Chain A
Amino acid sequence: DSGVTQTPKHLITATGQRVTLRCSPRSGDLSVYWYQQSLDQGLQFLIQYYNGEERAKGNILERFSAQQFPDLHSELNLSSLELGDSALYFCASSPPSAGSNSPLHFGNGTRLTVT
């Protein structure tokens, strides 16, 4: 168990809808990262938050947004969903020490299916 909790495990929704994915990082971790993994693809970095502030942005669509709350949990909001948004969405967290060689610890992912 990585200590990173993602909910829900599965989501099935229709095109045009909006969903929210939730992530609770490991205890003590301040950074949260969101990744998208489409079928049989590598993980694409979406966005990183550190202690409530956006730290880095990757290939995140304008229809997607995220935030990190004071209790450090994070939410990824996906709107105007398209079939191509179907993917596994991972959240990961890491400790606060800059330069640490601690790896990212991943949650089990949320499987999103858009029909």
Chain B
Amino acid sequence: AQTVTQSQPEMSVQEAETVTLSCTYDTSESDYYLFWYKQPPSRQMILVIRQEAYKQQNATENRFSVNFQKAAKSFSLKISDSQLGDAAMYFCAYRRLQGAQKLVFGQGTRLTINP
């Protein structure tokens, strides 16, 4: 079974600075998808960014980018120019390419932005 591990329960960063959230996963499959979701205090689950495992190029969405290291099974999220609105729980998630396409989530990292 696939597992996702987020080793940082909490992180904090000064406003306007850059922060990186770590995620590792375990799978025997070669093709899959990886996602970062954000959960603000409202508890909504909001997609931040996604990465296809077959793509070598790291995904980028505005201030959010990932460092995808397939061999190391690592998928970190970098937030540049942190803003107060970025404060949230961040969840890393894995999804198989075929078969049951549920998302397997990590335990989350709580990100605090200091003004």
Contact = CB atoms under 8 A, between A and B. Distances in A.
Contacts of A28: none
Contacts of A109: 43-44
A33 to B, nearest CB: 6
A42 B106 contact: yes
B35 to A, nearest CB: 6
Contacts of B33: 101
Contact of A103 (B50, B98, B105): B50
Interface string A76-112: 0000000000001010101000110101111011010
Contacts of A104: 95, 103
B12 interface: no
B10 to A, nearest CB: 11
B113 interface: no
A41 to B, nearest CB: 7
A11 interface: no
A48 B104 CA distance: 13
A84 to B, nearest CB: 18
Contacts of B100: 48, 55-56
Contacts of B108: 40-42
B11 interface: no
Contacts of A88: 43
Given A48-B100, A90-B45, A94-B101, 9 more contacts: A31-B101, A41-B107, A56-B100, A58-B102, A99-B98, A101-B50, A103-B35, A106-B45, A109-B43
